[in-house]
Each structure stands twice: as C-alpha cells, then as structure tokens.
Structure 1
Amino acid sequence: MGIISFQGARSKTKKLDETQIKVSDYMTKGLITFGPDQSVMEVIETLIKHKISGGPVVDVNNRLLGIISEGDCIKQLNESRYYNMPIEDARVENFMVKDVETIDGNLNIFDAVNKFLQTKRRRFPILEDGKLIGQISQRDIMKAALEMDGQNWWDR
C-alpha cells in the first residue's frame, strides 16, 4: 500500500512570476486625505465617519507632508485637556507625523510583506513623481493573499 496524502491531489498550476505581482496592483487609490490647516476635530470626525485609523496629509499639489492617525488625535485631546486649550484651534500640521516612510509601487508584494514585518507599520504611502498616488496597508496584503490562488501565494 502506498502513501496516502491527506491534502488530496494537487493540480499542476503554473506559478506566477513574483516580480510581476506589484504593490501598485493591490494598493488603495481613492484615499481620504487631510490638509495641514484642517482642524484636528475635523480629522476626528472624518476618521470616525469613514471607520479609518488615519490618513495622509497633503498640500494643494498632492505632495505628501505627513500622516495623521487616531493616536495623534488622542494625544491632542489629552494635551488640550491638560493645558486647558480649546481643541478647535488645533491644526493638523502641529500634530501629524512628518517623517513618513513610503514604499515603491513597483516593489513586488512579497518584498512589501517583509517590509511590513521589519518596520511594524500598518500602512505605507506610495508616491509617484513626489505626489501621493495610493497607499498599501496590511489589510491590502491580506486581500491580495485571498484573491490569489492559495497555492500561488503559499508556495513562494
């Protein structure tokens, strides 16, 4: 009697070329962005309304200036209470993170996975010619894994 595989017969599938699976294929495009002069209260309202945890801050030419997150907003709420300052006067530019790491849209998706693991970031903005064109998040990576044939993803 031969060996019985509990995985069942596997079809011979042609493996995809890893270099062809790019971050830009799975990035989110129509992003909600914020301006540096917006109030933090507007940001909080938008984050809650759209059920997102943060967003890029861009200038009028769509150049990335920073990122503002729930955590940045929480810090501002705490400071406004502690220093008895009105939150309505708080502007995004004073609370956003300005040193933002980006990722290349041409990077293959598997290298992006490694970058997420190394940096422990939740998302990376993607720039083209200095302008924001999208964002790749850990959730986008998980969606990519589900959309791809399981064998093509896991056999890498």
Structure 2
Amino acid sequence: MDYVVVKWVHILSSTFLFGTGIGSAWYMLFANVSRDVRAIAVVSKYVVIADWLFTATTAVVQPATGYYMVRLAGYPMSSRWIMWSLMLYVLAGACWLPVVWLQMRLRDMAAAAARDGTPLPPLYWKYFRTWVALGVPAFIAFVFIFWFMVAKPI
C-alpha cells in the first residue's frame, strides 16, 4: 500500500481516536455535573457505544498503520521519538481499558437509577472520579504522542 494512503488512514484514525475521547469526556463530564440522572443515563449509554465503535477500532488501526509507515519510511524502531510514542500509547491504553469497564458500570448504574427514579449511588460517584483520574494521563499521553509524530524531536 502507498505510504500516503497509509499515512492518511493513520491520521484519520488518530482523529477518530482522539476526537472520540475528547467528545466522550466532554459530554460525560457535563452530564455528570448537571446531576440529571436521566441525562447521565442517556449520555453514558452513547459514550460506551462510541468507545466500542470508534476508540476500540482505531486503537487497533493506529499501531498497525504506524508500524507499516515506519517500515516504509525506513525509520529504525529504536528511534527515541518512536519509542516514546509507543510507551505513551501503552500508557494511554492502560488507562483506557479500566475506563471502558468503568463506563459500562456507570452506564448500568445510571440506567437503573433513571428507571427506578432514584439518585445515583455513592459507588457511581467513586467510579466517576476514577474515570476522570484515568482520563487525565491518557489525554496528556496523546498530546505528547501527537507532538512526537509531528516533530520527531529526539
């Protein structure tokens, strides 16, 4: 496959990956700030769907296209910018895996509370705080990955 086509797929999938993460975080955060259980239930339902549809698929496309471009361009895998990008990608993935589990629990608790007309349980808010705490390092990791991909500084 042509390098430009692979690069286009890589950039497009990174846009979906990062964009879905930012969008999901934005809507999930502000639905929760509203404390409207029905809104939280609806938003969390669609955040989980978006994560599986966009994040999970692009999380596979990114390393595959990245590796292919490295091979086509002749960069050594030992290049520091590549190694840092890979380490940060693993860090982001290590944050994302528990986030997906948390989002499914949050979705289920919010749906039950909305259905039953009850407030969200204290466990919901504990999981939500953990969700936020895991999102911050993942976001920072992706910002640096973008920098390394563009600047190739080291």
Q: Same fold (TM over 0.5)?
A: no
* Larger proportion of strand: 1
Q: Quick check: which has more Rg, 1 or 2?
A: 1
* Larger proportion of helix: 2
Give the TM-score, by structure 1 length.
0.30
Give the TM-score, by structure 2 length.
0.30
